[in-house]
Amino acid sequence: MEYTQLGRTGLKVSRLILGTMNIGWTTSADDGKAMLDRGLDLGINVVDTANMYGGPSGPGFTETVIGEWFAQGGNRRERTVLATKLYNPVAPFGTPEAWPNESRLSALNIKRACEASLSRLQTDYIDLFQMHHIDRATPWDEIWEAFSVLRQQGKVLYFGSSNFAGWHLAKAQESAQRHGLLGLVSEQSMYSLLRRTVELEVLPAAMDYGIGVIPWSPLTGGLLGGVLRKEREGRSAGAMVSAGLAQYGQQIAEYEALCDEVGEQPADVALAWLLHQPGVTAPIIGPRTVSQLDASMRALEITLTDDVLTRLDDIFPGPGGAPQDGKRRDHRAPEAYAW
């Protein structure tokens, strides 16, 4: 396993992060614990979850399973960089929010959400506490004051964001600096060959502020996971993947042909491409089984040549668009939409 530092911090994290959203959906509690053990065996030291994860098993279920896993001992907690999130209401699956202060980023909900997560996770501290979304109704002064109390109490070590725009990162960091705080150390964004919008503003802002970028959905819901190969083998695609193929079918066909030429699995190439991108700390993988987790390790061994990276850009142009007159425009802000 390769390790890097999370943003500008001294915290060492693995180049792949084990996401746990499937625990409670397609992965049982026992299988989830086996997968968590296997992750440690493979050297993955970051486990990412959220207080709302659990699917039909109920919000909070995933954190509860992780807490039971920690309780087994064997230095599981000590070896894990634990990342969880708050923002969404933790209400029964499929029901609306039950009470006005059970979500978002008020000081009240920050305190209550942290305490509830600590209880479910059976631990006395969270390594990385992440805001799942921006809260436009709560001022940053209130958010950072509430977060600083948690840090002073030793309940949280680092703070991160998810699904923030570039200007949100800037606003958060400038507010933190005014309060003499470390501020954000990570940003979780949707980022893949098919979803490159973060290259416009989020990546440049994160790199400038020393915020580590953690891509989620690196396979774009399975579209980059060899879906055409699977169809040829008789495995049918789900409704969402089929809808994606209707829109991106030609690009996916070209992509899988390139992967065949390179001699690698499409899912591995998609992860390897992210590992080649500047500013990326580690993509989140979301395996359903131990075998899928094992297969993901191949991405760490793949070195993509400049020619292959260029051809991937040709298939999946970044937000700066396709090459013009043989020259590719800079796809970072502001060059992508200015002169």
Q: Give the catalytic positions in this structure.
A: 53
Do 199 and 329 form a contact (C-beta atoms < 8 A)?
no
Burial of 282 (0-12, 13-18, 19+ CB in 10 A): buried
27: nearest Cα among 62, 67, 71: 62
Q: Scanning the structure block, which residue is given the tokens 């997560």?
A: 117
- Helix, strand, or coil (residue 336): coil
Rounded to whole angstroms, what are the CA distances from 45 to 42, 111, 280, 291? 9, 26, 17, 18
DSSP 126-169: EEEEEESS--TTS-HHHHHHHHHHHHHTTSEEEEEEES--HHHH
Q: Which residues contact 316 (CB under 8 A, 6 or more apart)?
A: 193, 194, 196, 251, 255
- Quote the tokens at residue 8: 């500008």
The CA distance from 96 to 276, in Å, is: 41
Q: How many CB atoms lie within 10 A of CB 186?
A: 24
